[in-house]
């Protein structure tokens, strides 16, 4: 019996298989028992709860959809989504950690890597014996990664890498970075290992958001990358964008966890907080807020569920993933702010998870493509006209 029951107003659980429910409940219990008790302390201190990494691996959460021959759980996208939802109820930083390792590190190695790269890296990443990160964003190229200036030059037996990446989740603790750089003007993916000479990953400090997550720069000064460390099946911007589809999908589900945490706090608080002689839940203005939250959560859940089934049957378009990422992040932030309003002054305290979620969601709305980028991606799909430039 878990402490958190979530909200499922449309009985979407009736559509889940026993295996999908089992995954959700296992992660839910893990979050209740192992994450909730420690996460505020880590958030306040600006540290990632590294002691949880092995437990995440034991739950089979890294590369959860990849084949069992690599030590992965080989589950479907509903199970992946539900796991992300439950983790983000704990904290967006925890979901980020798993999204990056799974969608941005294991996925490209599995999809664009050589047999040797897959055999070497995937079992180690699944077991969390190795940690990975993904370097696409640069100081001067965020929404427009195609302009990147990090570059590789062919050398004897490999490549020489120069440039810098910024805002990289897990960067300072990663054993391997998937780095996107231009080789003769074409974007290629490289596996840069932490001990390579000329490579450093200083941690970025001073964040007010995603404080329980590590964010770093990646700096490359004449780094020699052996030929065996280039991803052989990736050439062009489309390939890192394919990785983003996986991670954006996990965000669409993840933020529903944040929504549920905030909604639950607001609902419980509103029933016990007495003002003007009655619980604030008895006032129509509060009920309007709760009804708004429950309705938006339900819409996001339905969107995610259908998206998962489209993805599992290879029918999903990347623009559909953009729509869920855009909508669910926007709604999650609105719900966090509305929940904070219901809690009044108490809403700013660390005793409640609301302000932490609200702050985290500012990053989640920005990374993996901002609200504006996803709006333009959908706009282009609808009209056939690109409005990026
Ligand atoms: P554009 O010309 O539109 O596209 C180039 C080629 O890629 C194709 N394409 C996609 N393919 C697969 N999936 C997608 N999502 C795709 N989007 C576009 C496109 O069809 C084209 O193919 P081809 O065959 O014609 O070459 O590119 P553009 O230069 O105009 O740029 C637009 C774009 C899509 C890059 C921009 O809209 C965008 O998405 N910007 C956002 C950048 C972003 O999301 N960065 C994320 C960095 S990683 C991160 O934030 C990790 S946070 C992780 C965590 O902690 O959880
Ligand atoms: P900019 O691109 O400079 O955009 C600034 C503003 O201008 C935004 O509002 C944007 O929407 C708007 N804008 C830009 N172009 C247009 C346009 N054409 N039309 C209208 N509006 C426009 N990146 C990685 O590669 N790996 C990671 O692991 C990673 N982790 C991250 C972790 C955190 C905590 C954060 C905050 C970011 C992370 N990122 C990572 C980077 C993230 O993907 C970028 O921040 C994001 O893509 C936006 O880029 P930017 O911050 O440079 O904003």
- Can you give the pLDDT at residue 301? 98
Ligand 1 centroid from CA 144, angstroms: 8
Please give the C-alpha separations between residue 42 and each of 52, 127, 166, 192, 245, in angstroms, as whole numbers: 12, 23, 23, 29, 29
The answer to whether the beta carbons of residues 79 and 312 sit under 8 Å apart is: no
Nearest CA to ligand 1 atom 43: 369
- Can you give the pLDDT at residue 3? 75
Ligand 1 centroid from CA 223, angstroms: 26
The answer to whether the beta carbons of residues 160 and 223 sit under 8 Å apart is: yes
Please give the C-alpha separations between residue 9 and each of 4, 328, 336, in angstroms, as whole numbers: 15, 17, 19
Q: What pTM value is reported for the model?
A: 0.98
Model confidence at 4: pLDDT above 90: no
User: Which entry of 368, 372, 380, 389 is annotated as an active-site residue?
Assistant: 368
**Ligand 2 neighbour 137 (Cβ under 6 A):** yes
Buried b (16+ CB within 10 A) or exposed e, 32-68: bebbbeebbebbeeeebbeebbeebbebbbbbbbbee
- Can you give the pLDDT at residue 220? 98
Model confidence at 234: pLDDT above 50: yes
What domains can be seen in the chain, in order of their start residue? 12-126 (1.10.540.10), 132-235 (2.40.110.10), 239-383 (1.20.140.10)
From 93, 241, 244, give the residue whose CB has the most ligand 1 atoms within 8 Å, as the site to mutate. 241
Mean pLDDT of 188-198: 98
* Residue count of the chain: 389
Task: Mark whether 368 is an active-site residue.
Answer: yes
Instruction: Give the C-alpha separation, 171 to 217, whole Å.
Output: 7
Model confidence at 2: pLDDT above 60: no
Model confidence at 1: pLDDT above 50: no
pLDDT in tens, 81-103: 999 999 999 999 999 999 999 99
Atom of ligand 2 nearest to the CA of 369: 47
Model confidence at 389: pLDDT above 90: no
Q: What percent of the chain has pLDDT over 70?
A: 99
Mean pLDDT of 335-343: 98
Ligand 1 centroid from CA 241, angstroms: 4
Q: What are phi and psi of 249, to 5 degrees?
A: -60, -45
Nearest CA to ligand 2 atom 23: 137
The answer to whether the beta carbons of residues 110 and 101 sit under 8 Å apart is: no
Atom of ligand 2 nearest to the CA of 207: 34
Estimate to the nearest angstrom the gap between the alpha carbon of 345 and the chain centroid: 30
Ligand 2 centroid from CA 378, angstroms: 17
- Can you give the pLDDT at residue 178? 98
Nearest CA to ligand 2 atom 42: 367
- Can you give the pLDDT at residue 5? 83
Model confidence at 17: pLDDT above 70: yes
Model confidence at 78: pLDDT above 80: yes
H-assigned helices in 132-237: none
pLDDT in tens, 128-182: 999 999 999 999 999 999 999 999 999 999 999 999 999 999 999 999 999 999 9
User: In the numeric block, which tokens belong to residue 241?
Assistant: 């964008």
Estimate to the nearest angstrom the gap between the alpha carbon of 161 and the chain centroid: 27
Which residues, 6 or more positions from 34, have their beta carbon under 8 angstroms from its beta carbon?
A: 52, 55
Q: What are phi and psi of 64, to 5 degrees?
A: -60, -25
Predicted confidence band of residue 73 (pLDDT cuts 50, 70, 90): very high
Instruction: Give the C-alpha separation, 292 to 297, whole Å.
Output: 9
Ligand 2 centroid from CA 145, angstroms: 9
Mean pLDDT of the chain: 97
Nearest CA to ligand 2 atom 51: 142
Model confidence at 209: pLDDT above 90: yes
């Amino acid at each position: 019996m878990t402490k958190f029951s979530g909200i499922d107003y449309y009985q979407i659980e009736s559509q889940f298989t026993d295996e999908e429910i089992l995954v959700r409940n296992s992660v839910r219990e893990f979050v209740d028992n192992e994450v909730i008790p420690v996460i505020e302390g880590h958030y306040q201190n600006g540290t990632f709860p590294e002691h949880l990494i092995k437990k995440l691996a034991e739950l089979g959460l890294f590369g959860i959809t990849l084949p069992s021959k690599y030590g992965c759980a080989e589950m479907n996208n509903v199970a992946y989504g539900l796991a992300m939802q439950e983790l983000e109820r704990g904290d967006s930083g925890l979901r980020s950690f798993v999204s990056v390792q799974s969608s941005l590190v294991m996925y490209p190695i599995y999809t664009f890597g050589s047999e040797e790269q897959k055999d070497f890296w995937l079992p180690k990443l699944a077991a969390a014996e190795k940690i990975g990160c993904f370097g696409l964003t640069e100081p001067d190229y965020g929404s427009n990664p195609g302009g990147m200036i990090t570059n590789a030059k062919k050398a004897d037996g490999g490549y020489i890498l120069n440039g810098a990446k910024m805002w990289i989740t897990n960067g300072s603790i990663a054993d391997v970075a998937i780095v996107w750089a231009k080789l003769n003007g074409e974007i290629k993916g490289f596996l840069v290992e932490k001990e390579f000479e000329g490579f450093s990953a200083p941690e970025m400090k001073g964040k007010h958001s995603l404080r329980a997550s590590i964010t770093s720069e990646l700096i490359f000064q004449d780094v020699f990358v052996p030929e065996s460390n280039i991803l052989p099946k990736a050439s062009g911007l489309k390939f890192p964008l394919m990785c983003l589809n996986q991670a954006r999908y996990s965000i669409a589900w993840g933020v529903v966890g944040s929504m549920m945490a905030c909604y639950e706090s607001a609902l419980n608080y509103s029933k016990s907080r007495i003002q003007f002689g009655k619980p604030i839940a008895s006032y129509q203005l509060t009920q309007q807020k709760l009804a708004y939250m429950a309705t938006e959560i339900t819409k996001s859940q339905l969107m995610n569920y259908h998206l998962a089934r489209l993805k599992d049957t290879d029918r999903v378009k990347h623009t559909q993933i953009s729509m869920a990422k855009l909508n669910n992040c926007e709604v999650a932030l609105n719900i966090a702010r509305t929940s904070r309003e219901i809690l009044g002054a108490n809403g700013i305290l660390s005793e409640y998870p609301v302000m932490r979620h609200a702050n985290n969601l500012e990053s989640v709305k920005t990374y993996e493509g901002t609200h504006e980028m996803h709006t333009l991606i959908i706009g282009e799909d609808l009209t056939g006209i690109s409005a990026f430039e």
